[in-house]
Chains A and B, each alone.
Chain A
Amino acid sequence: MKAPDFDYHRPETLAEALDLLARHGEDAAIIAGGQSLLALLNFRLAAPERLIDIGRLTDLKSLSEDHGHIEIGGLLRHCDLQASPLIARELPLLHKAIGHIAHPAVRHRGTIGGSLAMADPAAELGACCLALDGEFLLVSLQNRRWVAAADFFLGVYQTALRADEILAAVRLPKRRPGSIGIFDEIARRRGDFAMAGLALAAQTGDGGLSDVRLALLGVADRPILAGKTMAFLEGRPINEARIDEAAALIAGEIDPPEDPAYPPAYRRHLTGVLLRRALLELCS
């Protein structure tokens, strides 16, 4: 399990990195923290001709806020976000989710941009960004574009990123008065990829939930929004009967892939369990 050989580039500036990508993007892999990529390389499941190490690009390590949003540089590490009072205050959903990512030594290297770009369907951050209706800044030598999380994830390890683009930043709306965010997942052991997980963001008010966004992880080829269940929950008060109905609805709404260890029906069931727990938490 030794990585195959590759050319290694370590650009010092974003411009240099983008230039390298413009020239070599199709044959290159971007490495940030490397916490997923290096395992793939060691297993020889990936064999890029060259690695472009963006780890030193200080441009991508900023954390900023404006009146309504937090903008997170793609190279901020999980541990940076976990330790940030700003994140804890303004993005509690994300903050809670980070605690579920692997183990401390991995969180010290893994980055938000790297995790999102890897697009593991069971990763926490994709579902969080989806629930929070986040946007990702994708930059190339020629272009800068913001892509909504909902349009970013295309399949297992597949995203809207083009070969010459870097995920430079993540933009997420700050918590508003009355907003709630719940993250929960069920994993076999601490730090494992979850068998199923849920990120729920909504506004609470007298009439129940509004602006409901319910994202799921580990139950499809990408993080997904549970549209029918969101619509069901929208604008109605939560009570026990509704919780039962919602749990049944979400279990029927999703179509998890075949997996000999965790059959689709099991993941559907778990997703219902997670939603029930989340809604009960809201009630209490």
Chain B
Amino acid sequence: MSIGAEVPRDRAKRLLVGRGRYVDDISLPRMLHLAFVRSPYAHARIDAIDTSRAMALPGVVAVFTAADLDGAVSSWRAAHKLFPTMAAPEQGVLARDVVRWQGEAVAAVAAESRALAEDGAEQVAVEWHELTPVLDGNQALAPGAPVLHRDMTDNLAYETKITAGDVDAAFAGAAHVAEEHFRFHRHSGISLEPRGIIADFEPSESRLTVHQSHQTPHQQQDLYARLLGLPEHKVRVICPDVGGAFGLKHHLMADELTACVAAKLLARPVKYIADRLESFLSDIHCRDHEVHARMAFSREGEILGLHVDDLFNAGAYGQYPRTSIAEGNQISRLTGAPYRHENYRADLRMAFLNKSILGHIRSVGHPIACAVAERLIDLGAAHLGLDAIEVRRRNYLDDDDFPRTSTGGVEFEYLSLNPCLDKALEIIDVAQFRQEQAEARAKGVYRGIGVATFVELTAIGPEYYGEGGQHISAQETCLLRLEGSGTLRCYTGATDQGQGIDTGIQQVVADVLGLPLGDVEVISGDSALCPVGGGSWGSRGAALAGEAAMRAATTLRRNILSIAASLLQKNAAGLTIEQGVVVDTASGTTHMAVSEIARIGHFQPYSIPEGVAADLTVVERYATRDRMFLAGNGLQIAIVEVDVDSGIVMPLRHLVVHDCGRILNPLLVREQVRGGVVQGIGAALYEELRYDPDGHLLTGSFADYLVPMAGEMPDIEVAHIESPTKTSELGAKGAGEAGTAGAVGAILNAVNDAISPFDASIAEVPITPPRLLRALGRF
């Protein structure tokens, strides 16, 4: 069996010896390099742009402003038909007369090298008229606030409310109401490889070839074709090796589109690689929510009701094409989702403000939904004098509760909440920790333990974007091509940024077909070669592309065995394939190699009777039906030490018990989960995009924006519960959100547990040392 085996990744071999091929490694003849003139202000009017000095510099080939691109590219609006009242202001490739965040591009310089392009950008003179910036949601939504967009009367991008049951009655009848005001600051995905693109336009054929560090080649093909007015089949988007993505690279970015327009207008290849400063300024950001939440409890710790009020500080525009709403929507729908409560209310207000566009970064909304509920449970349990773990257990949805639609409206086929908790408590002896904690406290050492139960929404179904009006495939297709020698090429619409979905698919295909793993090669990331598919986002690879691969392999296996049966004059039902050889299922007698069938199938097809299913190139597809998500779940436990003198938090130990259904490759899933945890610890302790009162980014370097590094990270134990989904044959759910989804909640609870002797608490992340010491009243 190959499915479930710990198989190392083929692709890793060349990455280890420096043979990767990332976008910036590619160079095309006569290629130009792009640099941008970006707004130094958060909000300003552009009165004039003078490009003449830049144009005069040696090596500068062209300078574009918005006016120069009129007619060459369309603008767009980030709208979503499932949220019809959401504002969708118009956005173009370059800001035309108003800039709405510091870093928004107003002009592009194409030159013979990036250094020369930057020289040119420095020489573009812009006359600015500063406007008052709007920098947080409260300010944005206050009466009289400056309005960002001309076709709006205020900055309210969207407002909605979800209700279930009778929340007011539940709170009125509660023995205790736990209440907290949370702040989750803004951060981003921070892939190590920044965004990058090479656009190459061939005018004689109207053909655009794009190499891009991206997660979704087919989505980009559609967007570039439509926005640039090209026939879609003349647009090809190739995603070579991608140096990390995490949701950062599945959007349309105005500067990347500018590279395509420039290539079209100049008829020369144009490369744009975002530098780190540009990345901080203008990448898609995430989080930035202010959440006020209340949880009503009975005396016994039963959750009677939950009310979540989320102020979502979005960016200057909605993210295109997916829009920015999902993060707020996930918080509204997911908070408290693992628990059996009937009375629920979620209020959401999303505000536009003068910061970079906010969108979907790994584990969209999940960490906030998780942290809010998990913190409230700890607060409630402490007040009621109950064990917080027992309060969780008491309220968990149990095996009998499924299938179930949560009060927030999320459908759960099954969640293994109790099995995950049981397993976690086998691994971490909480009573023993409590004893050690007491001993340590006596010595002035403050440790804490934090538990966070999370639900993980994966494998988004076609209804979300299909109904929304976006051209984003949530269906996956797999094409298998048995070569004449009997080896196999597998083309998938999923893409691999290192998480290893190529290997997972390879295992599925090899397993079903009975081929040696090495005889299967997976080809992905090319919109011209690969069948239309969604790429990789929202933990969809294993569940959707894996299932499509399984179906295609099943069909191809049937065809191989049909051919074999006809050649051998045997019944196909009695045959199987093992290690590339057709054998008799019952006796194990070997009959003929798959390579022989491939040879005959391709070169001597006349040997196969008419009517036998003999296709050796097969295509199958898979999409979920009638469900928005496949929900996984899990639990994290963090143990931390707080230096109450400095406010520094040291994660000491971290456990994840996770259920992502059937696991294709535990080796890969483990580190995928750990990587997610480390990103979650980053959000909990380090990562924050901070702005000054004028809206200028203060964290434009890695000296100011802190990412988690090896020295401070703990070892992370990962254990699994395996509850395959019954909605597919393969049974896999996604695994990419889990680590990030639960880590913030676990760390937040652990820190609060550590400082509980001081009667202090904190509800703001990242938990920076000054914030923590202030909560402790130390300065």
Contact = CB atoms under 8 A, between A and B. Distances in A.
Contacts of B647: 266
Contacts, number: 65
A162 interface: no
B698 A266 contact: no
A188 B645 contact: no
Contacts of A276: 645
A260 B698 contact: yes
Contacts of A67: none
A276 B645 CA distance: 10
Contacts of B778: 269
A44 B276 contact: no
Given A1-B276, A2-B118, A44-B118, A190 B709 contact: yes
Contacts of B113: 2
Given A3-B115, A186-B648, A269 B122 contact: no
Interface string B326-355: 000000000000000000000000000000
B769 interface: yes
B690 A261 contact: yes
A273 B645 contact: yes
Interface centre among A43, A191, A266, A276 (most CB of B within 10 A): A266
A1 B779 contact: no
B779 A269 contact: yes
Contacts of A270: 646
Given A43-B277, A268-B779, A260 B690 contact: yes
Contact of B769 (A2, A3, A195, A260): A195
Contacts of A188: 648, 686, 706, 769
A2 B779 contact: no
Nearest to A4: B119
A5 interface: yes
B119 A263 contact: no
B645 A265 contact: no
A1 B769 CA distance: 31
B770 A1 contact: no
Contacts of B192: none
Contacts of B769: 188, 195, 262, 266
A262 B276 contact: no
B701 interface: yes
A3 B119 CA distance: 9
Contacts of A1: 118, 275-277
B244 to A, nearest CB: 19
Contact of A186 (B119, B646, B704, B774): B646
Contacts of A5: 115, 119
A136 interface: no
Nearest to B774: A266
B692 interface: yes
B125 to A, nearest CB: 16
Interface residues of B, number: 31
A219 to B, nearest CB: 13
Nearest to B278: A1
Interface string B272-287: 0001110000000000
Interface in A186-228: 186, 188-193, 195
A261 B701 CA distance: 14
B551 interface: no
B698 A261 contact: yes
Contact of B646 (A191, A192, A265, A273): A273
B114 interface: yes
Interface string B617-661: 000000000000000000000000000011110000000000000
Interface in A49-75: none
A241 to B, nearest CB: 18
Interface in B88-124: 113-115, 118-119, 122
A266 B774 CA distance: 9
Contacts of B275: 1
B703 interface: yes
Contacts of B768: 261
Nearest to B115: A2
A265 B779 contact: yes
Contacts of B645: 273, 276
B778 to A, nearest CB: 6
B611 interface: no
Contacts of B701: 43
Nearest to B118: A2
A280 B648 CA distance: 20
Interface string A1-30: 111110000000000000000000000000
A189 B711 contact: yes
Given A260-B692, A262-B770, 9 more contacts: A1-B275, A2-B114, A43-B277, A43-B701, A188-B648, A192-B706, A195-B769, A270-B646, A273-B646
5 contacts: A1-B275, A188-B769, A190-B712, A262-B770, A266-B779
Interface of A: 1-5, 43-44, 186, 188-193, 195, 260-263, 265-266, 268-270, 273, 276
